[in-house]
Structure 1
Amino acid sequence: MKITHLVLSSLLGFCLSSSLGVAGQSDFSISDLKKELKNEFTNSYPEQQKPTGKIKSFELVAAENNIGIIPPYKTLVWAYNGMVPGPVIRIKLGDTLQLKLINNLPQATTIHWHGIRVPNAMDGVPGVTQAPVQSGDSFTYKFTPKDAGTFWFHPHVNAAEQIERGLHGVLIVEDPDEPEYSQEFVWVLDDWLLTKDWQVSANFVTRHDLAHDGRWGNVLTINGRYQPIFQVKAGERIRIRMINVANGRVFSPAFARLMPYVIAVDGMLTEAPFPLQEFYVAPGNRVDLDIIIPKSLAGKKLLVQNLYGRQKSALAFLQVAAEEAVETPVFDSPRAIQFPRWADATKLPIEHEYVLNAKRGGVYGISWTIDDKIWPENAAYELTSGQFYSLRFTNKSSRLHPMHLHGQFFKVIAKNGKAVEERYWRDTVLIGPKQSIDIGIIPLDKGLWANHCHILEHAEAGMMTTIKVK
């Protein structure tokens, strides 16, 4: 009996030590792989940006105004400094932006700096980072952007109404090391739901919008104009900074007889330029395009269309001058200095799965949920700054959800469980019906950050949570 007991004890001890050894080896492998992924990420973009000491001061007044979306008719809008879109603010990388928001609207508002890594207190989200700026009051935002690129700003109070009425603008952070193009255009893509008398429909966050992909309009515009014409010359090399500010509409831009190359997504330069082919620019997304106008197209009028949806829609025209072609600037397209492939990232377990869905009830009769909860019921999911994480968004609904994470960039690493290789960063990713998207992320900027659907009606009806970066 004693001998048998010793044998059993020895065998049990061997099994336990073997099991622990395997588990320890597994944990070590995960830890080792995370270190490799972090090393790949090093210097992809800066944790801090050294200020130049130059302060660029602006004043932004939010108020009602009349503009001509479809001349000669006038449409009552809400505007920044009387303009829709608001002014294009340009600063150099390293400059400090100081902007005073004056609220002359009939309701409270804020400014969220979409895609810009700002100090948490400057992020403009009521209940998360700041109190709403009441009607008649003002608030001054001050920060030094950490990244060069194409960004935008908009309210985060009643956003489904305020953005739709016209409150949005563009912030461009210029990198002096990037090459100079023949021309640069800023294209703010939007759609408007206008009534028969050309006014903004005042029915916001309707059951129809909530049961579908948010509010889709009946008039598409670029820079607040219906089917504008942009003048170019044969031989020119053009940079177009394109921003989708629509409540819910997705754009898939296509240029007749031209081959644009994407050089930046969501403000950040790509690893290498790639052709613009069936690229979905969802609400909140930005793309920067590099386009050469062939000399053979002198005198031609070129159509730019939106191919997303059941019908093709004209967006704008490029009118190529009939005069003699100019010399084409020759330079390498700007690209990311360092970019991680993260080829093995899908081998890691998913740290958290965000389940996106809808349920009956709530203020609007339909609630859009994350993990079966509506904002602000959700608890913040915690991440540690400087560590690699795999997160999953699983869309159990039959509608679209462009998910936007404040304060951080991420890389899509898998779709429906299969690895993909996107060679660019995002801050907003479109998730289709019944689709899952896995992202790799190394959060750098600490604080409490919103994570929500950028179909504004869905967010208004609860599809928002927070991530806390420690």
Structure 2
Amino acid sequence: MYGLLVSIEMASLLILALLGWMAGNLAYKLAHAPSGDRLRRQGRRLIVWTVATTLAAAAATGSVVAMAVAFDRLFWLGRVLLQAPLAAVPLLFVWLVSVPKLRRMLRDPGLQDAAAPIAPAFRRAAAEPGLATAYRASALGALTAFYYVLNAPVPFDLAEATIPLLVYAAAMAAIWFGHYLRGERAGRAAHAPGAFPRPPLWKRGLRGLAIAAAVVAAAAVPLTIGASTSPLPDRIDMTAGPMDDGKGNVAAAHDHGSGHAAHLAATADAAPAPVSVADLTGPDSEPDRRFTLTAQKKTVRLASGQTIEAWTYDGQIPGPELRVKEGEVVEVTLVNKDIDAGSTIHWHGLDVPNAEDGVAGVTQNAVMPGERHTYRFKAEQVGTFWYHTHQDSLEGVSKGLFGSLVVEPAHPDPDRAREKDITVMTHLWDDAGIAIGASDGVDRVRIAPGTPVRLRLINTDNWIRQTYRLVGSDFQVAAIDGTDLNEPGDLAGGTKLVLTTGGRYDVTFVMPDRPVFLGIGFAAGSRLGILMSPDGSGDIPDAPSGGSEFDPLHYGKPAKTPFGPDSAFDREFTMVLDNKLGFYDGKFEMLYTLNGEVFPNTPAFMVREGDLVKTTIVNRGMVDHPMHLHGHHVLVLSRNGEPADGSPWWSDTLDVLPGDTYEIAFRADNPGVWMDHCHNLTHAVVGMTMHLMYEGVTTPYEAGRSTGNHPE
């Protein structure tokens, strides 16, 4: 609903700007009418245009009213204070001042003689500044309101919001003054009793060019400043930006020497001892499992025969699946053969020690060609995870630097031990389309009836909410983001599973004596998926028309959790997701913001080890954002004010749609400097990144051009 209301608001404002300007042009021409009859006809047309303009203003204002009724004030406060008045007030002036003047003029007996010349008094009345200026005010007010839609001051700040209003006021003052001078000319006796001619075309053209040049010159000032001040520093210390302590205090950016912890020292009863990220390592005991992954360029072939110039781990797509047992100490050595941009390995969803997190410029330096880096951690969570590079991650993940990571139970129950376990990693390859691993068609798998089946769905795409549909059998969603659900219920075959970027679902069912098909992007005639059948053959079952969409909020049965919505929280944060136009690193972009800022100006959330933390995430933008907090799993408390009352829903990659408000909570039990970013990597690369920071934790690593570290 929110997306619809924003679309109505934006469309209405653009229509209002167009109609208001056209109505203003018609009002402008009234004084130049060659006869009383023509003036009356133009005046009646102007009233019709006024009605149309009013309808557009009503639609824009009505969308704001609807938001105020249905959504939290973060969604509509700026709109009520800025956009709605800019759309409505000029039209009120039109109806209360301009239209009555126009009607009185049209009814005046002196204007009824069509053959008589128009008296100077009528021309002056038609050229009165208040008549045409009010329509211009409506058009420019709509454009200013549209600017606020694209560049909302978030959090709302009246000082920041005032600048566009001052520009609007200055423009209207200039327009009013121009109409005033014109009205004086129209009323002079020198023009009586003949017509009041418009200036010649060449003069109007020159005037238009002068106005356009003035507008361009005025716009060039902020654009030049924005372009020149937006390049990122050559070196960025991740601990030196602004900070929010979750207790109502926000500190500005500061030097690395003071550190975030210093800002909290005044309020902390006993500041923790300083520790470096580099010291927050995994166990130093002998590993139970050792792997070596080589990052290298490779031409790979999909099942259809299409070839891809990929960046790979070990020359394959996806990279090798790493399967380990719960409790095992795992050692993975990354060797970079020839990835010039560098590489790392981030363990997406696995809560490893901070030094093992694999983020260039935060927890390590990028591994450049000819170099190697060793990760070591204990696999303490059972579930479905994945790994990928976090150096130039938008390009690296897109080109293939990813693979699956599965942690199996140390002591599985008998049914789990019998499972047919299938990993389903979907990815969109440039110029080759979507594939499951290296398969871009239908894979056929033989599974005996009665066999428990587990499908591990992993969406590695960038900015694609991938849809999966299992047809031919009822099924359960057994786990989300690597965490089992409590008593998951049966879902009807054909139920849509929409999985956000970076997210994972474990889907389970018992194989029937007929074919079962997992379709990707499932639609009529879909030819991408996995066909499971007792003999490995058979036809793809028909998908039911329509079909509901899986919603975790009420799915499964409640179970005890270590904290909940009624807990006493040590820190409470608000994270507002939005978008705006602006410069980032010297380029004009559509920016995606966190609390009104983009990296490195996004405020870090500061916590202390042991804190119970609550975060309210509000998406007042126009697109979805899969928010991924490294090193922690969060418990979803509510969505849009509706409590999560099914199975406890733990997530590490939360799909926040436009208009959504999530309340989540987590225990700060993994010290470090942790990225918290949108996993639509297209958004992260233009600054939709912030950090969760623990008091006392520092990092020796830096990002930026001169460091070679580029985490996004």
Q: CA deviation at 1:258?
A: 1.2
More strand by share: 1
Q: 2:483 aligns to what? A: 268
Identify which of 365, 377, 384 aligns with 2:588.
365
Q: CA deviation at 1:365?
A: 2.2
Determine the C-alpha separation between the residues in 2 that align with 1:312 and 1:383: 51
Q: 1:247 aligns to what? A: 462
Q: 1:317 aligns to what? A: 530
Q: CA deviation at 1:71?
A: 2.6
Determine the C-alpha separation between the residues in 2 that align with 1:72 and 1:84: 14
Give the AA of the match of 2:341.
Q
Q: 2:510 aligns to what? A: 292
Identify which of 417, 420, 423 aligns with 1:186.
423
Q: CA deviation at 1:229?
A: 2.5
Q: CA deviation at 1:159?
A: 1.1
Identify which of 50, 68, 75 aligns with 2:301.
68
Q: Determine whether 1:433 maps to 2:658.
A: yes
Q: 1:349 to 1:460 in 2, by over 3 A?
A: same
Identify which of 421, 432, 436 aligns with 1:222.
436
Q: 2:334 aligns to what? A: 101
Determine the C-alpha separation between the residues in 1 that align with 2:525 and 2:564: 36
Q: 1:147 to 1:49 in 2, by over 3 A?
A: farther
State, as a whole percentage, how many aligned pairs show the same letter.
27
Q: CA deviation at 1:260?
A: 1.8
Identify which of 460, 464, 469 aligns with 2:689.
464
Q: CA deviation at 1:278?
A: 3.6
Q: 1:374 aligns to what? A: 598
Q: 1:353 aligns to what? A: 574
Give the AA of the match of 1:130.
Q
Q: Could you give the per-residue CA deviations for residues 114-159 of structure 1, whole angstroms, max 9, x where no partner exists? A: 1111111111112221111122211111111221211110011111
Q: Could you give the per-residue CA deviations for residues 196-223 of structure 1, whole angstroms, max 9, x where no partner exists? A: xx5xxxxxxxxxxxxxxxxxxxx22112
Q: CA deviation at 1:252?
A: 2.8
Q: 1:261 to 1:110 in 2, by over 3 A?
A: same
Q: 2:154 aligns to what? A: none
Q: Secondary structure at the match of 2:683?
A: helix
Give the AA of the match of 2:592.
W
Q: Could you give the per-residue CA deviations for residues 226-282 of structure 1, whole angstroms, max 9, x where no partner exists? A: 122223222221111221111111123211121221111111111222345444311
Q: Secondary structure at the match of 1:99?
A: strand
Which stretches in structure 2 are left out of the alignment for 5+ residues?
A: 1-280, 537-555, 696-712
Does the 8 A contact of 1:92 with 1:173 survive in 2? yes
Q: Secondary structure at the match of 1:160?
A: helix
Does the 8 A contact of 2:334 with 2:373 survive in 1? yes
Give the AA of the match of 1:137.
E
TM-score by length of 1: 0.75
Give the AA of the match of 2:370.
G
Does the 8 A contact of 1:236 with 1:292 survive in 2? yes
Q: CA deviation at 1:370?
A: 0.7
Q: Could you give the per-residue CA deviations for residues 391-416 of structure 1, whole angstroms, max 9, x where no partner exists? A: 01111111010000000001111212
Q: CA deviation at 1:314?
A: 4.5
Determine the C-alpha separation between the residues in 1 that align with 2:657 and 2:347: 26
Q: 1:36 aligns to what? A: none
Does the 8 A contact of 2:576 with 2:619 survive in 1? yes
Q: Secondary structure at the match of 1:62?
A: strand
Q: Determine whether 1:90 maps to 2:323.
A: yes
Determine the C-alpha separation between the residues in 1 that align with 2:462 and 2:487: 30
Any residues of structure 2 matched to 1:197-208 within 5 Å, and which?
198=432
Give the AA of the match of 2:323.
R
Q: Secondary structure at the match of 1:162?
A: helix
Runs of 4+ in 1 over 6 A off after TM superposition: 48-52, 335-338, 346-350
For this pair of structures, how many residues does the alignment match? 384
Comparing 268-277 and 86-95, the one that deviates more:
268-277
Which stretches in structure 1 are left out of the alignment for 5+ residues?
A: 1-47, 199-218, 324-334
Q: Secondary structure at the match of 1:351?
A: strand
Does the 8 A contact of 2:310 with 2:400 survive in 1? yes
Determine the C-alpha separation between the residues in 1 that align with 2:446 and 2:646: 33
Q: Could you give the per-residue CA deviations for residues 255-311 of structure 1, whole angstroms, max 9, x where no partner exists? A: 11212211111111112223454443111111112111113x1xx3x3322458x98
Q: 1:311 to 1:249 in 2, by over 3 A?
A: farther
TM-score by length of 2: 0.51
Determine the C-alpha separation between the residues in 2 that align with 1:143 and 1:413: 30
Q: 1:354 to 1:223 in 2, by over 3 A?
A: same
Does the 8 A contact of 1:303 with 1:314 survive in 2? no
Q: Secondary structure at the match of 1:271?
A: coil
Q: Secondary structure at the match of 1:121?
A: helix
Give the AA of the match of 1:96.
V
Any residues of structure 2 matched to 1:119-138 within 5 Å, and which?
119-138=353-372
Any residues of structure 2 matched to 1:150-165 within 5 Å, and which?
150-165=384-399
Q: Could you give the per-residue CA deviations for residues 15-34 of structure 1, whole angstroms, max 9, x where no partner exists? A: xxxxxxxxxxxxxxxxxxxx
Q: CA deviation at 1:337?
A: 12
Q: 1:345 to 1:455 in 2, by over 3 A?
A: farther
Determine the C-alpha separation between the residues in 2 that align with 1:135 and 1:336: 50
Q: CA deviation at 1:422?
A: 4.9
Q: Could you give the per-residue CA deviations for residues 310-364 of structure 1, whole angstroms, max 9, x where no partner exists? A: 98855313231349xxxxxxxxxxx999741856449979811111112222134
Q: 1:93 to 1:256 in 2, by over 3 A?
A: same
Q: 2:380 aligns to what? A: 146
Q: CA deviation at 1:189?
A: 1.5
Cα root mean square deviation, aligned: 2.8
Does the 8 A contact of 1:285 with 1:428 survive in 2? yes
Any residues of structure 2 matched to 1:4-43 within 5 Å, and which?
none
Does the 8 A contact of 1:304 with 1:316 survive in 2? yes
Q: CA deviation at 1:54?
A: 4.3
Determine the C-alpha separation between the residues in 2 that align with 1:337 and 1:314: 38
Give the AA of the match of 2:425.
V
Q: Secondary structure at the match of 1:180?
A: helix
Q: Could you give the per-residue CA deviations for residues 30-80 of structure 1, whole angstroms, max 9, x where no partner exists? A: xxxxxxxxxxxxxxxxxx999995431111001111222253232211111
Comparing 269-278 and 389-398, the one that deviates more:
269-278
Give the AA of the match of 1:224.
A
Q: Secondary structure at the match of 2:427?
A: strand
Does the 8 A contact of 2:518 with 2:529 survive in 1? yes
Q: Secondary structure at the match of 1:274?
A: coil
Larger Rg: 2
Q: CA deviation at 1:469?
A: 3.2
Q: Secondary structure at the match of 2:317?
A: coil
Q: CA deviation at 1:182?
A: 3.8
Q: Determine whether 1:58 maps to 2:276.
A: no
Identify which of 359, 376, 400 aligns with 1:166.
400
Determine the C-alpha separation between the residues in 1 that align with 2:284 and 2:584: 46
Give the AA of the match of 1:460.
V
Q: Secondary structure at the match of 1:457?
A: helix
Determine the C-alpha separation between the residues in 1 that align with 2:680 and 2:592: 11
Give the AA of the match of 1:462.
G
Q: 1:336 to 1:396 in 2, by over 3 A?
A: closer
Q: 2:643 aligns to what? A: 419
Determine the C-alpha separation between the residues in 2 that align with 1:359 and 1:459: 14
Q: 1:158 to 1:422 in 2, by over 3 A?
A: farther
Q: Secondary structure at the match of 2:347?
A: strand
Q: 1:394 aligns to what? A: 618
Q: 1:312 to 1:413 in 2, by over 3 A?
A: farther
